[in-house]
Structure 1
């Protein structure tokens, strides 16, 4: 039997009896229908590999790009911005979202230039704008020095250091950010982008940051009622059959609510077993599950992945970034030009720190967004929404002591870390990791290929990183399947 022949094994209710159904099946199985999995499928199809099936654990495509109805509007639970716009190179996601022939999504340029005038004290009232400006200016000076230092470090990563170590080398807050305002500015500059603090984030891989260095410094907030996920549907629609009226994917090669639990790989092919005990066989499998999932036992590999692969998977961090939406019966926060974002300087680092109001994006919605990350995200995921709502409203009452701050009427708390199909939001750059480790985490193991934003050497953590990673990983597979170039070379760490 040829390896490309699909076999579906259905385990019957009666013990020791197995019903076997055969059909012409996929040559390639793609595990996961997030941006990278959908992107990989498109690239494979362009190369003539159309004999494929996509197994998606949830009831939708898009992965960590997901809209949800809240307070009468669709908001984004996960990815929300097109990051890196108006630079020398064109961000491929921006091309699809708002470029010529694109989707013309409703987007808004985010302006963070007025934070110095919108930073609130722990017990209410605004900090003096000039005081905050000096802190931000000093932070930017240190970041610039850090970028210069980063450029002098050996490409192997052996001289890499944490962003915090770089700050100390520049005598920046030598004892750490001690005051609430120092802490919230430090948080905004680092945690708000990478979802982890400077003490664990790599200098060499984040300064300068390739996304902004290559694609531009501007970021655009997606507030389209079709959802940011329409970009994923746009890619999928180029090779999967869709309903013309609704836009829904009707292609039988996409199988939703299909949870992969085991991947067995042989010299001649692969077998993928799902939670309902069906087994799909093919020549190759592309695993686009998140890094967080790879770090759990949701998907077991038989035989076990080699030690170099396991080590590479655990060398990367899966960060947690939580956007909490709150609906109020009326507005009490400042609005107008320069008032979209505001900070809360708590003595507890990362405690409800970064706020956004939606005067332009969702007019009349009376919705606020507050972002938390890392340990605060995990804490909030484990408590009730009512508790989180009470905490957030208490913070707002401290920020605006002269205002009548009503109770929130609705709250939406994403739980990416608790969700077994994601186990986090995006990967972060660990210290000492470089091209070598990225090559390892992207490298195939036999007929098992890997993709995802965590396999993007320059753009991990971003939507464009997931999209480009899908293309890169598909190209590696195509070289093997079509050109018989199956050897994947990983240069030495110090080469």
Structure 2
């Protein structure tokens, strides 16, 4: 009679002597998403010698949230609009500009932040004395100093930017106060101070404004490092350019399947099989490794089923992230009846109600008679949930208050709503109040042969386009390092010898069990 110890010995020997693998593989690596992170990952894999790559993209195009609309003869962004951190004195230091230089350049401009005129809900221009800019700046400095105290006492968790501002003397009272706060906080983050984490937002974690500047520019607080893209081919031309290099050429095996919506990822230490709906049919694709670059909004929503479930620690990290709601509403008119300032503010009675109009008629060379209205947070969610005609009616009513003698009629329009899009479920990640600085790196730690990527995994650059670029490259680098020991020969000789030794040893031990 064979005893239990003997059975255990044989089971362990079999597990060491063989490993489960895909019965067939469609690629060496599957990448989910053809945005900046996914295409960058594919490019880095190819540089490292892995060419058999399959990219599954849910939409019908590359670029992800880098997308433009042709309005008034100009290509106007519906997603990210700026290259953040581009030093005008030395733009070649920025990784995105390095790509742009190889891809024919990228037209744009630095916005003149002083070129701003404001109107209130009565159509009047408030006096300059009503704007408490200095009070807000002082409170921001106080909040920044408060971070050091909280970090030292390890009491950062769950502390919001709202708490930091209030504790430092800033409480908005008037509609003008609310507008200043929106412009300074909600606008760049896509979410109100109540939702933002103080210690990450004010804790020197964001490196985008410091890492790509020349020594002569560092320390210049007045330097504008936000380069607004107005290229005729759109911001997405950078991803398209990389993609053409990745998928082009006679010897390239990399391919993209469009309109492939991923529903299931079955992963292990040896194989990853991805199920996607393509042309209405569920199709399974298998590979040794997979790099999902979908947004954390999609991961949080559970739109992709992981089998087995991701570890609890990974799910906890995902749930601490949150996506901003940042919507462009781009409109063309018959003529430019508005002010010649680059930015036109609207100070509503309620915070964030169509608060900023970007005047593209003077900033785009095409002079397209286009205004770009930006809304965030709860207002953006309301806009996402209502008919487009309702939104246009609301904006036309506001413009009529501001310019009562003008013919305010929208001829054409486009709305960049990423919140309602199931492929994204939000615009970009912001520094939510439950996030910890270690979460970004740990989100990108592999589980089995699964390497979660995307801009949220980029330490110091999360939420930015260049963060997505870095994240894609970093995920690919991890796969290349994993493959490095076995790349030269069909098998890893040292590993095989070690396994064989263990099998022989187990056989000897099992013999003693009789």
TM range (shorter): 0.7 to 0.9
Which of 212, 223, 227 is the equivalent residue of 2:230?
Answer: 223
Q: What is the distance in 2 between the residues matched to 1:255 and 1:26?
A: 13
- 1:65-80 equivalent positions in 2, closer than 5 A: 65-80=66-81
More divergent stretch after superposition (152-161 vs 439-448):
152-161
Deviation at 1:162, TM superposition (A): 1.4
Q: What is the distance in 1 between the residues matched to 2:266 and 2:54?
A: 17
Q: What is the distance in 2 between the residues matched to 1:204 and 1:145?
A: 13
Partner of 1:204: 199
Deviation at 1:234, TM superposition (A): 2.5
Partner of 1:169: 167
Change (3 A) 1:189 1:237: same
Q: What is the distance in 2 between the residues matched to 1:481 and 1:77?
A: 39
Partner of 1:131: 130
CA contact (8 A) 2:200 2:437 kept: no
Deviation at 1:199, TM superposition (A): 1.1
Partner of 2:483: 481
Deviation at 1:230, TM superposition (A): 0.8
Partner of 1:190: 185
Q: What is the distance in 2 between the residues matched to 1:468 and 1:319?
A: 21
CA contact (8 A) 2:343 2:359 kept: yes
Change (3 A) 1:387 1:157: farther
Q: What is the distance in 1 between the residues matched to 2:448 and 2:183?
A: 42
Partner of 2:113: 112
Larger radius of gyration: 2
- 1:281-296 equivalent positions in 2, closer than 5 A: 281-296=286-301
Partner of 2:63: 62
SS in 2 for 1:213: coil
Deviation at 1:54, TM superposition (A): 0.7
CA contact (8 A) 1:30 1:41 kept: yes
Gap regions ≥5 residues in structure 2: 1-17, 214-223, 487-514
Partner of 1:381: 384
1:236-279 Cα offsets, whole Å, 9 max, x none, are: 23432169xxxxxx976111111111110123211111112211
Change (3 A) 1:251 1:129: farther
CA contact (8 A) 1:308 1:440 kept: no
Q: What is the distance in 2 between the residues matched to 1:298 and 1:327?
A: 36
Partner of 1:21: none
Partner of 1:33: 34
Deviation at 1:157, TM superposition (A): 6.6
Partner of 1:430: 432
CA contact (8 A) 2:178 2:351 kept: yes
Aligned residue pairs, count: 450
1:119-147 Cα offsets, whole Å, 9 max, x none, are: 21121121112432xx1122222223333
CA contact (8 A) 1:6 1:26 kept: no
Gap regions ≥5 residues in structure 1: 8-23, 244-249, 485-495
SS in 2 for 1:448: coil
1:292-333 Cα offsets, whole Å, 9 max, x none, are: 111123211111112111111110011110000111112111
CA contact (8 A) 2:73 2:366 kept: no
Confirm whether residue 332 of structure 1 aligns to residue 355 of structure 2.
no
Confirm whether residue 142 of structure 1 aligns to residue 136 of structure 2.
no
Structure number with higher helix proportion = 2
SS in 2 for 1:112: coil
Give the TM-score of the pair, scaled to structure 2.
0.82
Which of 231, 234, 240 is the equivalent residue of 1:233?
Answer: 240
SS in 1 for 2:109: strand
SS in 1 for 2:176: helix
Deviation at 1:465, TM superposition (A): 0.8
Q: What is the distance in 2 between the residues matched to 1:41 and 1:155?
A: 41
Note the aligned Cα RMSD (angstroms): 2.5
Confirm whether residue 298 of structure 1 aligns to residue 303 of structure 2.
yes
Q: What is the distance in 1 between the residues matched to 2:20 and 2:73?
A: 50
Partner of 2:469: 467
Change (3 A) 1:447 1:122: same
Q: What is the distance in 2 between the residues matched to 1:32 and 1:381?
A: 23
Partner of 2:328: 323
CA contact (8 A) 2:53 2:254 kept: no
CA contact (8 A) 1:55 1:255 kept: yes
Q: What is the distance in 1 between the residues matched to 2:212 and 2:336?
A: 36
